[in-house]
Amino acid sequence: MRIPFRKSPHVSVNGATAVAPSAAPHELTVDLERRRDQLVARVAELQWDLGGLVYEMAVRNRIDVEVLVKRAVALQDADAELSEVERIVRMEQTGTAGSCTSCGAPHSTGATFCWQCGQPLLAQVPSDAILRR
């Protein structure tokens, strides 16, 4: 599913969106927050429509599972996209905590080992050094 963005410094390659070097990180966050708001409204609308459709089919005693599945797939796709956008926005807001001293890969807050090379991110500190503080 493609995300319809307005013309911006974002480049889409095989469905993945990347930011051109000239784009400010703040612009990406603003675009993602705008997209998140659109998706929240879309998911709510799809949930409402699906619920109304099920109700109307039940009242008429004519449940068409194929129609319900098609609508549920659309809802599931929008919800998955919303989850991914929310994850990216959260990551943009919290940022990375640093980079691995061995390979230079970025890591998040709370990471113990590097996701790329597996080396420990936290230095081993002798217990007597901790007690001296």
Is residue 56 predicted with pLDDT exceeding 80?
yes
Asked if residue 57 lies in contact with residue 72, where contact means CB atoms within 8 angstroms, the answer is no
Do β-strands 98-99 and 16-19 pair in parallel, antiparallel, or remain unpaired?
A: unpaired
Q: Are 88 and 32 in contact (CB under 8 A)?
A: yes
Q: What are the residue ranges spanned by the domains of the chain?
A: 1-95, 96-133
Mean pLDDT of 37-54: 96
Task: Choose between 17 and 62: higher pLDDT.
Answer: 62
pLDDT tens by residue, 69-111:
999 999 999 999 999 888 878 777 766 666 788 888 877 767 8
Share of the chain above pLDDT 70, in %: 71
Q: Write out the two tokens for 42.
A: 């879309």
- Please state the rounded mean pLDDT for residues 9-13: 44
pLDDT for residue 54 is more than 70: yes
Is the pLDDT score of 34 beyond 50?
Answer: yes
Average pLDDT score over residue span 13-40:
68
Q: What is the pLDDT of residue 31?
A: 87
Q: Where are the alpha helices (DSSP H) in 12-126?
A: 25-59, 65-94
